[in-house]
């Protein structure tokens, strides 16, 4: 298949590009390096040294001459760029990761909130129009987030809810209550995509993904130049990755609030497995298919305890620190989301184990000198005044 990956320079995009290429697909990558720019602006960097996209693609292509990745630098906000590319390639599938992915960044102030929504929502709209004009039967696989649903007091279904109201019944899109301006951008994307499928017959799969963790995949370990951008800082670092790093350097695990907030999680390898399953099981013309993409559910406190327990097996002394929650999220709540869709397609989850956590912590310990301690503590507050 010809597959176009937008956001191919990212934490998930680069491993996805290598995986799909190794499976024999013709892979095209696009990125505007917006995340690298935010890193520079904020003085943060991934834990491992990350090659430039051009160099790592060159290196991959050298070792895999029959499975070359073709990279194009460009921005979805420039509709001419994506029109031209899509009309030339006419991909069978497009995987769209190319959005500003950080909730805390989107909450820094007006500028960052506007950037996030403009970049994500308008970029996605330009892509929708490109597909409609040049390749309307392409399957668009769009990365969404479990955070669009918020924490409702009812079970979370996969995208839709059958409701009864005044003796009538309907299947509606599941109500959203997003956690941040970033999560809101994904909710707006979903509505735009569902409209485009309904009205123009596009084929769209929206993947509402939980919090991803893990330093590596089968391909990133093949060569130092193939590493992916593992973040631990307070902007881009996700909670398990941050806790493993904190454990490795003897810093307390930073639970925001009491830690009773519950979230969904998955290993980065399972992201790649889900993407491959989504490609193999495309939405039909006119269908807006929603799949919840996660494998496990934990409260933040449970996670901290798991990481403490695993660390103790290798004699690390771990403290847990409860910080005043910088975010606005429900401290205690009901949470029961469904993830049947991928399990039905045959996903075999790679669950969080002590062995996995220990190996992550050991890997991080080996390069502790790369860690910038000043970027760990959260500085972005959801209720900050005057920005």
Binding site for ligand USQ (CB under 6 A): 101-103, 145-147, 183, 209-211, 238-239, 242, 254-256, 261, 263-264, 300, 327, 329
When the beta carbons of 89 and 347 are compared against ligand USQ, the nearer one is: 347
Q: Which residues contact 67 (CB under 8 A, 6 or more apart)?
A: 21, 22, 24, 27
Angstrom distances, CA of residue 101 to CA of 75, 81, 123, 148, 182: 16, 22, 13, 13, 7
For residue 266, give the 3-state DSSP assignment: strand
For residue 212, which phi and psi values (nearest 5 degrees)?
A: -90, 145
208 sits in the region (left: phi over 0; alpha: psi -120 to 50; else beta) called beta
When the beta carbons of 145 and 220 are compared against ligand USQ, the nearer one is: 145
When the beta carbons of 224 and 377 are compared against ligand USQ, the nearer one is: 377
Q: Shortest distance, CB of residue 280 to ligand USQ, whole angstroms?
A: 23
Of 57, 138, 145, 238, the catalytic one is: 145
Q: Shortest distance, CB of residue 295 to ligand USQ, whole angstroms?
A: 12
- Do 228 and 14 meet the contact criterion of CB atoms below 8 Å apart? yes
Residue 18: both structure tokens together = 């290598």
When the beta carbons of 129 and 256 are compared against ligand USQ, the nearer one is: 256
Length of the chain: 387
Of 45, 186, 227, 251, the catalytic one is: 186
Q: Which of 183, 190, 113 is nearest to 146 (CA)?
A: 183
CA angle 68, 74, 80 (to 5 degrees): 115
When the beta carbons of 4 and 300 are compared against ligand USQ, the nearer one is: 300
- Strand runs labelled E in 210-365: 211-213, 253-256, 262-267, 288-293, 296-299, 320-323
Q: Shortest distance, CB of residue 187 to ligand USQ, whole angstroms?
A: 11
| C-beta nearest to ligand USQ: residue | 147
- Do 326 and 234 meet the contact criterion of CB atoms below 8 Å apart? no
Q: Which residues contact 271 (CB under 8 A, 6 or more apart)?
A: 12, 15, 16, 209, 212, 293
- Do 185 and 116 meet the contact criterion of CB atoms below 8 Å apart? yes
Q: Shortest distance, CB of residue 238 to ligand USQ, whole angstroms?
A: 4
For residue 268, give the 3-state DSSP assignment: helix
Query: Does 11 participate in catalysis according to the annotation?
Result: no
Residue 275: both structure tokens together = 């993407």
Q: Shortest distance, CB of residue 194 to ligand USQ, whole angstroms?
A: 18
Residue 195: both structure tokens together = 């409209």
When the beta carbons of 228 and 264 are compared against ligand USQ, the nearer one is: 264
When the beta carbons of 137 and 384 are compared against ligand USQ, the nearer one is: 384
Query: Does 186 participate in catalysis according to the annotation?
Result: yes
Query: Does 145 participate in catalysis according to the annotation?
Result: yes
Of 11, 28, 97, 182, the catalytic one is: 182
Q: What is the DSSP letter of 226?
A: G
Q: Shortest distance, CB of residue 61 to ligand USQ, whole angstroms?
A: 29
Q: Shortest distance, CB of residue 229 to ligand USQ, whole angstroms?
A: 12
When the beta carbons of 7 and 210 are compared against ligand USQ, the nearer one is: 210
Quickly tell me which residue has 């039967």 as its tokens. Answer: 137
- Do 45 and 21 meet the contact criterion of CB atoms below 8 Å apart? no
Q: Shortest distance, CB of residue 111 to ligand USQ, whole angstroms?
A: 19
Beta bridge partners of residue 255, listed in sequence order: 322
Residues labelled catalytic: 145, 182, 186
């Amino acid at each position: 298949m010809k597959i176009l990956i937008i956001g191919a320079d990212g934490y998930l995009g680069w491993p996805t590009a290598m995986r799909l290429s190794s499976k024999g697909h013709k892979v095209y990558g696009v990125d505007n390096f917006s995340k690298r720019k935010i890193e520079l602006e904020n003085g943060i960097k991934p834990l491992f040294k990350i090659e430039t996209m051009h160099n790592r693609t060159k290196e991959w292509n050298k070792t895999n001459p029959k499975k070359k990745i073709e990279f194009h630098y460009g921005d979805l906000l420039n509709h001419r760029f994506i029109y031209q590319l899509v009309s030339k390639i006419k991909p069978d599938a497009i995987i769209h990761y190319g959005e500003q992915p950080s909730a805390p960044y989107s909450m820094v102030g007006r500028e960052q909130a506007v950037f996030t929504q403009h970049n994500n929502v308008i970029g996605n709209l330009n892509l929708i129009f490109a597909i409609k004009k040049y390749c309307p039967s392409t399957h668009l696989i769009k990365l969404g987030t479990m955070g669009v649903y918020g924490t409702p007091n009812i079970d979370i279904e996969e995208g839709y809810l059958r409701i009864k109201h005044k003796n009538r019944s309907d299947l509606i899109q599941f109500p959203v209550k997003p956690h941040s301006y970033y999560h809101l951008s994904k909710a707006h994307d979903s509505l735009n995509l569902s409209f485009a499928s309904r009205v123009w017959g596009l084929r769209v799969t929206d993947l509402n993904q939980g919090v991803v963790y893990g330093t590596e995949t089968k391909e990133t370990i093949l060569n130092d130049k193939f590493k992916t951008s593992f973040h631990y800082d307070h902007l881009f670092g996700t909670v398990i990755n941050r806790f493993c790093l904190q454990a490795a350097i003897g810093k307390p695990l930073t639970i925001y609030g009491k830690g009773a907030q519950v979230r969904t999680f998955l290993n980065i390898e399972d992201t790649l497995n889900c993407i491959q399953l989504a490609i193999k099981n495309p939405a039909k013309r006119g269908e807006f298919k929603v799949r919840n993409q996660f494998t496990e559910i934990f409260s933040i406190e449970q996670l901290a305890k798991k990481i403490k327990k695993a660390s103790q097996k290798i004699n690390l002394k771990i403290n847990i620190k409860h910080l005043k929650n910088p975010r606005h999220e429900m401290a205690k709540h009901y949470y029961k989301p469904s993830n049947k869709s991928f399990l039905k397609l045959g996903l075999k989850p790679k669950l969080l184990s002590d062995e996995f956590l220990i190996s992550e912590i050991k890997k991080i310990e080996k390069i502790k000198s790369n860690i910038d301690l000043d970027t760990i503590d959260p500085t972005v507050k959801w209720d900050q005044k005057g920005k």
